[in-house]
Amino acid sequence: MTDIIHLLPDSVANQIAAGEVIQRPASCLKELVENSLDAGATHIKVLVRDGGRTLLQVIDNGKGMSPTDARMAFERHATSKIQQAADLFELHTMGFRGEALASICAVAHVEVTTRRLEDEIGTRLEIAGSEVITQEMTQCPVGTNMRVKNLFYNVPARRKFLKTDQTELRNLIAEYNRIVLVNPQVQFTFINNDEIISELPICSAKQRIEAVFGHSSKPFTSQLVDIQTNTELVNIYGFVGKPEAANKNSQQYMFVNGRYMRHPYFHKALMTAYSGLLASEYSPSYFIYFEIAPDAIDVNIHPTKTEIKFADEQAIFQILLATVREALGKFNVAPSLDFASETRIEMPQPTSAPISITAPHLKVDPTYNPFKKNNTHTAQSLPKDWMGLYDQPANVYSNKESPTFALSNDNTPILQWQNKYIVVPTDNGIMLIHQHRAHTAILYKELLQQLKNQQSISQTLLFPEILDLSNNDMQTLQDMQVELQVLGFDLDQFSPNSYSINAVPMQLGTNNPSETLLQIIHQVQDTGGTATQQWQENMALTLADKMAIPLGKTLSEIEMRDLLSRLEEQHPSRFLNNGQTIITIITNDEIQKRF
Ligand code: ADP
Ligand code: MG
Cβ-Cβ contacts under 8 Å for 559 (sequence gap 6 or more): none
Neighbouring C-beta atoms of residue 24, cutoff 10 Å: 24
Of 168-182, 273-287, 375-389, minimum mean pLDDT range = 375-389
pLDDT of residue 96: 65
* Chain center to CA of 392: 38
Dihedrals phi, psi of 433, to nearest 5 degrees = -120, 125
Higher pLDDT, 2 or 290: 290
Q: What is the C-alpha to C-alpha distance for residues 336 and 344, in angstroms, rounded to an integer?
A: 14
Q: Domain ends where: 142, 167, 202?
A: 202
- Whether residues 321 and 428 share a domain: the answer is no
Q: Report yes or no on 356 lying in a domain.
A: no
Ligand 1 geometric centre to CA of 75 (Å): 11
**pLDDT at 508 > cutoff 70:** yes
Q: What is the C-alpha to C-alpha distance for residues 548 and 559, in angstroms, rounded to an integer?
A: 13
Q: What is the C-alpha to C-alpha distance for residues 296 and 233, in angstroms, rounded to an integer?
A: 9
C-alpha distances (whole Å) from 222 to each of 202, 207, 211, 276, 334 are 20, 11, 13, 22, 15
pLDDT of residue 471: 83
What H or E segment, with its residue span, contains residue 513?
A: helix 513-526
Is there an atom of ligand 1 within 6 Å of 95 CB?
A: yes
Provide the pLDDT confidence category of residue 585 given band limits of 50, 70 and 90. confident
Q: Which among 22, 31, 35 is the best mutation to test ligand 1's pocket, defined by most ligand atoms within 8 Å of the CB?
A: 35
As a whole number, mean pLDDT of residues 176-182 equals 97
**pLDDT at 148 > cutoff 90:** yes
**pLDDT per residue as tens digits for the range 415-460:** 999 999 999 988 888 999 999 999 999 988 888 887 777 767 778 8
- Whether residues 196 and 211 share a domain: the answer is no
pLDDT of residue 324: 95
Provide the pLDDT confidence category of residue 376 given band limits of 50, 70 and 90. very low
Is there an atom of ligand 1 within 6 Å of 103 CB?
A: no
Minimum-distance ligand 1 atom for the alpha carbon of 58: 23
Q: What is the C-alpha to C-alpha distance for residues 159 and 152, in angstroms, rounded to an integer?
A: 6
DSSP state for residue 81 in the 8-state scheme: S
C-alpha distances (whole Å) from 330 to each of 376, 424, 561 are 46, 69, 68
**pLDDT at 356 > cutoff 80:** no
Of 407-411, 449-453, 589-593, minimum mean pLDDT range = 407-411
Top mean pLDDT of 308-312, 528-532, 577-581 is at 308-312
DSSP state for residue 434 in the 8-state scheme: E
Q: What's the CATH number where 566 sits? A: 3.30.1370.100
Is there an atom of ligand 1 within 6 Å of 73 CB?
A: yes
Q: Count of domains in the chain? A: 3
Q: Report yes or no on 158 lying in a domain.
A: yes
- Could you give the strand order of the β-sheet that contains 421-426, starting from the edge strand earlier in sequence? 415-417, 421-426, 429-434, 583-587
- Whether residues 164 and 213 share a domain: the answer is no
Is there an atom of ligand 1 within 6 Å of 261 CB?
A: no
Q: Report yes or no on 564 lying in a domain.
A: yes
- Whether residues 440 and 547 share a domain: the answer is yes
Relative to beta strand 109-115, strand 78-79 is unpaired
Ligand 2 geometric centre to CA of 96 (Å): 6
Minimum-distance ligand 1 atom for the alpha carbon of 34: 2
Neighbouring C-beta atoms of residue 2, cutoff 10 Å: 6
Q: What's the CATH number where 263 sits? A: 3.30.230.10
- Whether residues 459 and 592 share a domain: the answer is yes
Contact in structure between 513 and 465 (CB atoms under 8 Å): yes
Of 3-12, 96-105, 130-139, 146-155, minimum mean pLDDT range = 3-12
Is there an atom of ligand 1 within 6 Å of 572 CB?
A: no
- Whether residues 194 and 324 share a domain: the answer is no
Q: Which among 1, 36, 38 is the best mutation to test ligand 1's pocket, defined by most ligand atoms within 8 Å of the CB?
A: 38
Q: Report yes or no on 347 lying in a domain.
A: no
- Whether residues 321 and 292 share a domain: the answer is yes
- Whether residues 318 and 400 share a domain: the answer is no
DSSP 292-334: --GGGEE--S-TT--B-EETTHHHHHHHHHHHHHHHHHHTT-S
Is there an atom of ligand 1 within 6 Å of 221 CB?
A: no
Is there an atom of ligand 1 within 6 Å of 52 CB?
A: no
Top mean pLDDT of 29-38, 100-109, 161-170, 482-491 is at 29-38
**pLDDT at 242 > cutoff 50:** yes
Q: Domain ends where: 158, 177, 202?
A: 202
- Whether residues 243 and 188 share a domain: the answer is no
Q: Report yes or no on 352 lying in a domain.
A: no
Q: Domain ends where: 142, 175, 202?
A: 202
Provide the pLDDT confidence category of residue 158 given band limits of 50, 70 and 90. confident
Q: What's the CATH number where 69 sits? A: 3.30.565.10
DSSP state for residue 7 in the 8-state scheme: E
Q: Report yes or no on 354 lying in a domain.
A: no
pLDDT of residue 410: 66
Q: Which among 58, 69, 71, 101 is the best mutation to test ligand 1's pocket, defined by most ligand atoms within 8 Å of the CB?
A: 101
Provide the pLDDT confidence category of residue 117 given band limits of 50, 70 and 90. very high
Higher pLDDT, 375 or 33: 33
- Whether residues 456 and 480 share a domain: the answer is yes
- Whether residues 165 and 210 share a domain: the answer is no
Is there an atom of ligand 1 within 6 Å of 101 CB?
A: yes
Q: Report yes or no on 341 lying in a domain.
A: no
Ligand 2 geometric centre to CA of 35 (Å): 5
Is there an atom of ligand 1 within 6 Å of 81 CB?
A: yes
Provide the pLDDT confidence category of residue 260 given band limits of 50, 70 and 90. very high
| Environment of ion ligand 2 (residues, CB < 5 A) | 35, 95, 100
**pLDDT at 7 > cutoff 60:** no
Is there an atom of ligand 1 within 6 Å of 16 CB?
A: no
Q: What is the C-alpha to C-alpha distance for residues 42 and 554, in angstroms, rounded to an integer?
A: 68
Higher pLDDT, 381 or 486: 486
Ligand 1 geometric centre to CA of 67 (Å): 13
The ligand placed nearest to the CA atom of residue 146 is 1
Q: Report yes or no on 346 lying in a domain.
A: no
DSSP 33-54: HHHHHHTT-SEEEEEEEGGGTS
- Whether residues 193 and 258 share a domain: the answer is no
What range defines the domain where residue 286 resides?
Answer: 206-333
Ligand 1 geometric centre to CA of 35 (Å): 5
Q: What is the C-alpha to C-alpha distance for residues 288 and 268, in angstroms, rounded to an integer?
A: 13
Provide the pLDDT confidence category of residue 541 given band limits of 50, 70 and 90. confident
Question: pTM score, two decimals?
Answer: 0.60
